[in-house]
Amino acid sequence: MTCRYVCLITIVAIVTTVSVDTGAQELGGIYVEVLDQTGQPVTDLTPEDFKIKTGPPSLSVDDEQTRPVVAAQPGTIPMKVALLVDNADGMVQGNALSSLRSGLGAFLDTLPAQHEVGLFTIARVPQLRVDFTTDRAELKESVSTIFAEKGQGAVMFDGIQETWARRFEDDDAWPVIVMVLTDGPEMSGNMTQDEYNALVGELMSRGANVHIVLLLTRGADARAKLRPIQTDYATNLTQNTGGLFQGINLATGLPDALTTLATEIGAHFDDMSNRWRVVYERSDPPGERIALMVNRPAVNVRIFTHRRMEP
């Protein structure tokens, strides 16, 4: 297809265990690959080059409404990665501190250097250790000072909610949260199901990925009697946001698991680097029909509803 390309697609929220209502979101996002006739990515697009119309599936094309395009972000903008670390009693019970430090160091060594990383711990309260930076030496120095806090529970929900609200900006092109958890006590403040749904809906709406490595420190008998809350919610978070979840039984597996995760995140970024993220003001609920036009001559366009990682 050349000159001007028009495509109709249907946006549907990707939901697993939890029903997420993203209809309240004011902004929508769509991913677009634009290639010239030689197959090379077009890199100099602006919001003015995109035109989006939306409407319920029952409406005709003539009834569609033009929606303002507020941003067009190239897929080459580096990721902003929040690394949240459970250093609470579960790490003590798993005798995992040394493996945890090694694994975090391996993650930082493996993740491509252009991506910013912020380091946080979540024993008892969320704590910022290093703000977002590409300085791997500073991050690794802080990793070496992480200690496991005996007798303290982790705050998985408080950690992700506070980090998302306070450390990410609305215009971040590719927000990523990586959580290294255990199945020890979860001590977050009360979060209602509606609040959780709203958080997941916002993560999805803004194109965030959540990746989780969960160290199982309880014995099989204990897990059979009481399924850790982290397992259910970690699985749900990663499935809804297109991230990866891995549960491991031995602390010594942390370095390999985090090395593999960093490798896969970096490779996925490269795979998605040709996709522009086009952000627009939305008025219709999920299930709306979207027509997108690229006002450039002689281009080939493909449209995607997400940039999920496939397990």
Q: Is the pLDDT of residue 66 over 80?
A: yes
Q: Is the pLDDT of residue 229 over 90?
A: no
Average pLDDT, the chain: 86
Q: Is the pLDDT of residue 285 over 70?
A: no
How far apart CA 154 and CA 101 sit, in angstroms, is 17
Cβ–Cβ under 8 Å, residues 55 and 65: yes
Q: What is the pLDDT of residue 284?
A: 58
CATH numbers and ranges of domains, the chain? 27-38+68-75+274-289+296-306 (no CATH), 80-269 (3.40.50.410)
Lowest mean pLDDT among 59-68, 144-153, 235-244: 59-68
Residue 191: C-alpha distances to residues 149, 155, 161, 236 (Å): 24, 11, 10, 15
Residue 233: C-alpha distances to residues 210, 212, 218, 237, 254 (Å): 11, 10, 17, 6, 20
The string of DSSP codes covering 177-228 is: EEEEEESS-B-PPP--HHHHHHHHHHHHHTT-EEEEEEE--S-HHHHHHS--
Q: What is the pLDDT of residue 59?
A: 55
pLDDT tier, 21 (very low <50, low <70, confident <90, very high otherwise):
very low
Reading the block at residue 120, the tokens are 């946080």
Q: Is the pLDDT of residue 55 over 70?
A: yes
pLDDT tier, 286 (very low <50, low <70, confident <90, very high otherwise):
low
- Residue 207 falls in which region: left (phi positive, over 0), alpha (psi -120 to 50) or beta: left
Lowest mean pLDDT among 12-16, 78-82, 209-213, 255-259: 12-16
pLDDT tier, 241 (very low <50, low <70, confident <90, very high otherwise):
very high
More confident residue, 282 or 82: 82
Share of the chain above pLDDT 90, in %: 67
Share of the chain above pLDDT 70, in %: 84
The DSSP code for 48 is G
Mean pLDDT on 264-288: 87
Q: Is the pLDDT of residue 122 over 80?
A: yes
pLDDT tier, 217 (very low <50, low <70, confident <90, very high otherwise):
confident
How far apart CA 31 and CA 120 sit, in angstroms, is 30
Q: Is the pLDDT of residue 109 over 70?
A: yes
Instruction: Note the pTM of the prediction, 2 decimals.
Output: 0.87
Q: What is the pLDDT of residue 22?
A: 38
pLDDT tier, 57 (very low <50, low <70, confident <90, very high otherwise):
low
Cβ–Cβ under 8 Å, residues 299 and 42: yes
Q: Is the pLDDT of residue 58 over 50?
A: yes
Which contacts (CB < 8 Å, 24+ apart) does range 39-46 have?
39/300, 41/274, 42/296, 42/299, 43/74, 43/76, 45/72, 45/74, 45/276, 45/294, 45/296, 46/72
More confident residue, 63 or 229: 229
Lowest mean pLDDT among 43-52, 148-157, 221-230, 251-260: 221-230
245 backbone dihedrals φ, ψ, rounded to 5°: -125, 135
Mean pLDDT on 247-262: 96
Cα dihedral sign, 275-279-280-281: positive
Q: What is the pLDDT of residue 25?
A: 42
Rg (CA), the chain: 21
Mean pLDDT on 185-201: 90
Cβ–Cβ under 8 Å, residues 120 and 85: yes
